[in-house]
């Protein structure tokens, strides 16, 4: 393959959304390409937190700025487009909320039905976002907590997709490798955002493992095309209450460990991670894992809002908690070039935002003629 010193030569500037990287993605004919301008998200340099924790170069990849507020829009754009191209009559999938919102929105745009199985205790603000786009939703008892129930849900979706000619929308390479290829565009953008270079370390929230695997694949492809490039350290950050992948990495296992979830972090409650094996394979080559207590995740969510103006959901903030831990363990140093993936917007989890807001002074009502500040 011809070596290129940048990714720009593969970009189609006239295209929108992920389709700017059409040459690097699975083939979808132009009439079937669904987009709402997803991707091309900002890489924002830390204004305060980097100095506080002792880093000279800390960036936030703002996937929260996608059309429905999460990186899942990239996957939905590819997945729904493929469904149209293959003549599927509907889509069916599962979600803790973000994927559901993305596929519901893109299915609505494409004009095809979307059937969704969600956690029994899904965050209500995420469920609301799904419903307003017209998805057909079913809550499943113990889903998101029980490993066995999770496997049954995946099997149910797979069987229905096969028997009814529906497109299976589970955001994992194990179940939908074509749609998941769109995640690579995050890596391509980070590379471009940094002036055609890669960072030293990328911290990624991990639930099912698909985001991590896609970003890893993206940086490997950059290395194949840019002889002067490197593959950065890729760090998997999991909630301590659902850390089947990181615990397996600590024990040098090749597959995730068993165990139910006790995590309260929406989006990371995946006790049977479909792409866990792929994450562990990547970690064995160049990376490591961290397990984070939920209280630390919420603390960093609050600090991102107060110190950086970044309103993200807790599952995003866990990446920064991983940076703090990596610094304390000496895995990165003050001169490391670090990127945190901000996976979803703060409005996704209104309950966690209310907890932060409730810590502020009560907002009173005043007569404007008597107001003093």
- Nearest residue to 254 (alpha-carbon basis) of 263, 245, 262: 245
Read off the pTM.
Answer: 0.93
Q: Which two tokens stand for residue 372?
A: 């003093």
The class (CATH top level) of 72-175 is alpha beta
Q: What is the pLDDT of residue 322?
A: 98
Architecture of domain 8-65+179-356: 3-Layer(aba) Sandwich (3.40)
HSE, CB side, 13 Å, CA atoms: give it for residue 211: 30
Q: What is the pLDDT of residue 10?
A: 84
Q: Which two tokens stand for residue 336?
A: 């490391």
Judged on CB neighbours under 10 Å (0-12, 13-18, 19+), 16 is: middle
Q: What is the DSSP letter of 19?
A: G
Contact 78, 56 (CB under 8 A): no
Contact 85, 355 (CB under 8 A): no
175/336 Cα distance (integer angstroms): 35
Distances (CA, A) of 258 to 85, 119, 320: 38, 19, 26
Beta bridge partner(s), residue 137: 116
Strand 57-62 versus strand 43-45 pairing type: antiparallel
Per-residue pLDDT of the chain (373 residues; tens, 9 = 90+): 444 557 778 888 889 999 999 999 999 999 999 999 999 999 999 999 999 999 999 999 999 999 999 999 999 999 999 999 999 999 999 988 899 999 999 999 999 999 999 999 898 989 999 999 999 999 999 998 898 998 999 999 999 999 999 999 999 999 999 999 999 999 999 999 999 999 999 999 999 999 999 999 999 999 988 767 889 999 999 999 999 999 999 999 999 999 999 999 988 999 999 999 999 999 999 999 999 999 999 999 999 999 999 999 999 999 999 999 999 999 999 999 999 999 999 998 888 888 999 998 988 898 999 888 8
Same fold across 8-65+179-356 and 72-175: yes
Domains in the chain: boundaries: 8-65+179-356, 72-175
HSE, CB side, 13 Å, CA atoms: give it for residue 248: 25
């Amino acid at each position: 393959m011809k070596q290129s010193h940048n990714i720009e030569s593969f970009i189609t500037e006239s295209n929108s959304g992920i389709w700017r990287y059409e040459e690097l993605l699975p083939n979808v004919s132009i009439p079937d390409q669904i987009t709402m301008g997803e991707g091309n998200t900002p890489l924002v340099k830390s204004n305060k937190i980097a100095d506080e924790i002792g880093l000279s170069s800390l960036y936030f990849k703002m996937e929260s700025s996608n059309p429905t507020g999460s990186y899942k829009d990239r996957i939905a754009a590819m997945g729904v487009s493929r469904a149209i191209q293959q003549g599927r009559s509907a889509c069916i999938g599962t979600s803790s909320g973000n994927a559901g919102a993305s596929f519901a929105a893109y299915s609505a745009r494409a004009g095809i039905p979307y059937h969704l199985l969600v956690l029994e205790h899904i965050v209500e603000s995420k469920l609301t976002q799904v419903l307003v786009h017209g998805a057909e939703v079913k809550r499943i008892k113990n889903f998101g907590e029980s490993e066995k129930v999770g496997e049954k849900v995946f099997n149910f979706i797979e069987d229905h997709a096969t028997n009814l000619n529906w497109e299976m929308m589970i955001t994992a390479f194990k179940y939908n490798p074509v749609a998941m290829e769109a995640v690579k565009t995050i890596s391509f953008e980070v590379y471009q955002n940094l002036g055609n270079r890669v960072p030293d370390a990328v911290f990624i929230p991990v639930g099912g493992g698909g985001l991590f695997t896609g970003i890893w694949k993206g940086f490997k492809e950059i290395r194949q095309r840019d002889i002067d490039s490197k593959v950065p350290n890729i760090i998997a950050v999991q909630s301590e209450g659902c850390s089947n992948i990181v615990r397996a990495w600590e024990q040098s296992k090749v597959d995730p460990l068993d165990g139910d979830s006790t995590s309260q972090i929406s989006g990371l409650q995946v006790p049977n991670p479909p792409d866990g094996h792929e994450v562990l394979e990547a970690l064995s080559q160049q990376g490591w894992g961290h397990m984070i207590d939920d209280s630390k995740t919420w603390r960093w969510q609050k600090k991102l809002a107060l110190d950086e103006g970044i309103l993200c959901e807790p599952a995003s903030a866990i990446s920064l908690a991983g940076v703090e831990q990596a610094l304390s363990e000496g895995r990165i140093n003050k001169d490391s070039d670090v990127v945190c993936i901000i996976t979803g917007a703060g409005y996704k989890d209104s309950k966690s935002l209310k907890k932060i807001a409730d810590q502020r002074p009560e907002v009173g009502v005043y007569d404007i003629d008597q107001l003093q500040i």
